[in-house]
Amino acid sequence: MKRRTFLRAAGGGLVALIGIGAGVWSQVPVIPKRPDPDPEAALGWIAWRDGRYTLTLPRAEMGQNIATALKQVACAELDVAWDMVDLRLHDTAVPRVKATVGSESVQLFAEPLAQACAALRDAIAMGRTEGPVSVAARPVSDLRSVRPGGMIGAAPELVQGREIVTGGPLYAADVARPGTLFGRVLRAPAPPEVASRPLRWNAEAARAVPGFVALVEVCGPPIGKARGLGIVAARPGALDTIAEALEVAWDVDGLHPRADVATAIDVDRRLDEGPLPHAVLDGAPEAGFWDVDLRLDIPLAAHAPIEPRAAVAEWQDGALKVWAGTQDAFYIRDVLADAFGLSGDVVTVQSCRIGGAFGGKTICTVEAEAAALAAAAGAPVKVQWTRAQELAFAFHRPPSSHRIRARVTDGRITDWDHAQVSSHILFTAAVVPAWMQHGTDALIGDGGVARGMAAPYVLGRARATYDAVRLPVHTGPWRGLGAGPNALAIESAMDEAALVAGADTLSFRIDHAADPRLVAVLERVREISDWHRDASSSLAVARIGRGVACGIYKEMSYAAAVAEVAVDPRGRVRVSGLWGVHDCGLVINPDQVRAQCEGNLVWSIGMVLSDGLPIEDGRVVAENFGEAPIPAAFDVPPIMIDLLDTVAPPAGAGETMIVAGPGAIANAIRAATGVRPIGFPVGPEVLAT
């Protein structure tokens, strides 16, 4: 939606804001433009010259290995060998491509690429070796690359795999321009939604540090309301020393009114005030006693990419070029043009491989810092955030508070009520100002918070409602958006309902599932996990349990998981086995789909057992992985993944298993201990005997 269109749609009160003078437009964010691809656009991704093909990857590569999958599509459709196609990452000099989000790269991009490759193949076969190619879409059944066989379903060498292993320059932090300097923007130890600014600092002490180049007071747009102070050095190792020497005193506007985040999202407190405003399911459950009545609280969690975000910026003759690991190079270009008063055609953003993103590298932060510092220094500047900056100033998975209830009669769920209070995901406070967020809340809610709240079962009279609260810490998309936390709540309640009914928890799900593909993944995970066998452990004193969960992601991909856990007398949980079944339609590269499933299951371990960012006075206080832990290698059990390669068109695989893994682990803990996990991460004090 365009900015002016949004203001009109939001009603007269917001339209009136246009007329109150300068400053209003500065508060209206740049709106991402995300066109769906088509065969005409795809012609710009594939080219032939001197007997070789070049595929310009229309997606960001962040470890999902979409470069490999789309190169497989190109080779299959062109009918050429793997080494005949070279691959380059796109920049913003090519026609706009959609942001890499939503597990939709294969789903949306494979067929347009195949159509373009088929047109190019036919043109070359007819002797046309120069000039543009036109494409006329042909029936999907005529395409070679969207059916099994040959390159489709194979596992060729990973694109960029050798460079990763040998340390080749792939990432933004690897970019080395002549005369590159190194920068950082310091910000107050305060929540980004509380206005803060540098008050005073010791410039003389900073200048005395070897390698000091510059102090920069105008260092790009604020992050939220946090204004910074920039430093530039000749070597990266000087940045910490300069920052310490400055001894910056910060002016902070005080506590945020929702500094107590847990109280701000307390679902029961909010329900006491009245119904929640946004309905995902609008049934009318009958009043009365509930057989299942759960309150679940899921905390703030970081994306925890191994690569902190980085960017290199260089100005030449009034034009700006930025190298960045971003999920949306075009949005970064648009924001930079807006922030620095430039036309889009003089700003170029070159995509670099991303060392982990998971939805977290979609907005403009480090790129603007690098551009501002480079402008001030008159030289290329590289900015790489520290881990502490990642945790303090990136956006995170929002905390959520759930009240979920069910009534069971004759083995069937007849009534269902799921209420949730969370914070914003799609309309994140990291880019959307409060006044505009009020408009989105009133008009359409937040589809990211709602994702996955419609349980994939036949539940009788079912209601699902939510509210989103702006918090002092920034929240936004995190692998699967709301689908992971919502599925954890839903699958916990489904397990309790099965226990009320005296039913096998896996069979109970099948009995409530209407979608045959959901039934199929459940039946298959029952088989590969040997669901009914007795669980055992090498720890004789451990309590052993198995749990199951399943789900449908974005109405396109299906997953089911079984987890086995061992809980020792001190309440420490060890996940001892994980089995997953995944159906995303036609599989281009089975190795990479399995890798995505495994990654989601490791995230599931973290979601249940370790994820949780500590907050004090509304701000994140963790500065490293020791204070915001992620699963380590010894936390990961043997994982078995089975793919159902169906005749359905290819769909997303990057986030689907997150709807099944956390619930399976939580339900296994319940089976082992008799204690229902309701607060996460699950601490040993809750489970100790």
- State the average pLDDT over residues 389-415: 97
Cα separation, 1 vs 9, whole angstroms: 10
Q: Assign 262 to helix, strand or coil.
A: helix
Cα separation, 569 vs 214, whole angstroms: 57
pLDDT at 129: 83
492-501: per-residue pLDDT in tens? 999 999 999 9
pLDDT above 70: percentage of residues in the chain: 95
Q: Assign 231 to helix, strand or coil.
A: strand
614-673: per-residue pLDDT in tens? 999 999 999 999 999 999 999 999 999 999 978 899 999 999 999 999 999 999 999 999
User: pLDDT class for 366, splitting at 50, 70, 90?
Assistant: very high
Q: Assign 587 to helix, strand or coil.
A: coil
CB 37 within 8 A of CB 9: no
For residue 417, give the nearest of 595, 283, 516 by alpha carbon.
283
Domain 172-254+309-384 has CATH 3.20.20.150: no
CB 462 within 8 A of CB 512: no
pLDDT above 90: percentage of residues in the chain: 91
For residue 114, give the nearest of 65, 62, 45, 54 by alpha carbon.
45
Please report which residue ranges of 208-328 form alpha helices under DSSP H.
238-246, 261-264, 267-272
pLDDT at 190: 97
Cα separation, 28 vs 26, whole angstroms: 6
Q: What is the DSSP letter of 679?
A: B
CB 381 within 8 A of CB 182: yes
Cα separation, 253 vs 226, whole angstroms: 10
pLDDT at 10: 38
Please report which residue ranges of 341-414 form alpha helices under DSSP H.
366-377, 387-393
* Mean pLDDT over each residue of the chain, to the nearest integer: 93
The dihedral of CA 496, 499, 504, 510: what is its sign?
negative
Q: Assign 477 to helix, strand or coil.
A: coil
User: pLDDT class for 533, splitting at 50, 70, 90?
Assistant: confident
CB 422 within 8 A of CB 449: yes
- Reported residue count of the chain is 689
User: Do strands 319-324 and 543-553 pair parallel, antiparallel, or not at all (unpaired)?
Assistant: unpaired
Per-domain boundaries in the chain: 1-29, 39-166, 172-254+309-384, 261-301+396-687
39-166: what CATH class? alpha beta
pLDDT at 23: 38
Q: What is the DSSP letter of 619?
A: E
Q: Which residues pair with 169 in a beta bridge?
A: none
**248 pLDDT exceeds 80?**
yes
For residue 440, give the nearest of 467, 422, 402, 463 by alpha carbon.
467
78-101: per-residue pLDDT in tens? 999 999 999 999 999 999 999 999
Tokens (6 digits) for 302: 């970081």
CB 448 within 8 A of CB 401: no
Cα separation, 24 vs 242, whole angstroms: 36
Rg of the chain over Cα atoms, rounded to whole angstroms, equals 26
2-48: per-residue pLDDT in tens? 444 444 433 333 332 222 233 333 468 898 999 999 999 999 999 99
CB 380 within 8 A of CB 178: yes
CB 569 within 8 A of CB 541: yes
For residue 557, give the nearest of 447, 648, 450, 443 by alpha carbon.
648
Cα separation, 654 vs 594, whole angstroms: 10
- State the average pLDDT over residues 511-530: 98
**Residue that the structure tokens 């299942």 belong to:** 292
Q: What is the CATH number of domain 261-301+396-687?
A: 3.30.365.10
CB 77 within 8 A of CB 121: yes
Omega cis (within 30) before 222: no
Angle in degrees, 0-180, between the axes of helices 66-78 and 105-125, rounded to the nearest 10? 30
User: Do strands 461-468 and 412-422 pair parallel, antiparallel, or not at all (unpaired)?
Assistant: parallel
Q: What is the DSSP letter of 353?
A: B
Tokens (6 digits) for 452: 């996955």
